[in-house]
Each structure stands twice: as C-alpha cells, then as structure tokens.
C-alpha cells in the first residue's frame, strides 16, 4: 500500500490534481486501513482521471485490482450532473451521503 500512496502522489504532481481543501496543506490523498482505502479529493474530472491513472498503474505493477462491486464513491455538495459524470469515469456505485450521521467523530474529515 506504500507503493500505491507513492503512485498517487507522483500522478498528482504530474497532472492537474485538486486536493480536498482540508487535505491540501499536508498533501493527503489517501488513508489506508488494513485492506481498505479512502481517497479524498475535489470532485473534478481531471482529479478523478488522475486517481484512476494511478490505480491502473498500481494494477499493472502489482496485479491488484479494484473490486468494483465493493467500492463506493461518496460525494458532498456537488451537482447531480457532475456526480453522474464522475461515476461513469470510476465505474463504481454511489455510496451514502456525506456527511453521514452514522460516521460520528469522522464527521469533520
């Protein structure tokens, strides 16, 4: 997973990547918990394409692939048309609304 983090950072430095506003100063793109991955970013087409390039590179190098049936995208405060476009790019289902009351303390992330 360290290699995935380095790949995401490398692709972000080469492409027009929009950091999540609360993650920009520290250049945080992803958070890894055991075998789970959370990627945070601006909901922009260029940024999503950058992440997908990094994930494709990771797959080509390691043989590990995204499980699209278990993966979700969570949006916050964007237009439905933008959501639809981004969901087509990532080929994943839309997850719960953000912020979710079930997230408790993680509400502020």
89-102 per-residue burial string, b: 16 or more CB within 10 A, e: under 16: ebebeeeeeeeeee
pLDDT band at 77 (very low <50, low <70, confident <90, very high): confident
Here the tokens at position 33 are 């918990």
- Range(s) of the domain holding residue 63: 2-108
Residue-level pLDDT at 108: 41
Q: How many domains does the chain have?
A: 1
pTM as predicted: 0.75
Whether the predicted pLDDT of 90 surpasses 80: yes
Around Cβ 57, how many Cβ atoms within 10 Å? Answer: 16
Q: What is the mean predicted confidence (pLDDT) over 63-76?
A: 89
The share of the chain scoring above pLDDT 70, in percent, equals 88
């Amino acid at each position: 997973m360290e290699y995935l983090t380095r790949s995401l950072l490398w692709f972000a430095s080469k492409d027009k990547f929009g950091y999540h506003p609360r993650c920009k100063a520290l250049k945080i793109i992803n958070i890894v918990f055991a075998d789970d991955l959370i990627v945070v970013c601006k909901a922009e087409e260029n940024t999503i394409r950058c992440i997908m390039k990094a994930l494709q590179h990771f797959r080509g190098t390691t043989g590990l692939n995204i499980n699209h049936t278990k993966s979700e995208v969570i949006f916050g405060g964007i237009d439905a048309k933008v959501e639809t476009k981004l969901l087509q790019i990532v080929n994943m289902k839309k997850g719960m609304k953000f912020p979710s009351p079930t997230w408790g303390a993680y509400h502020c992330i």
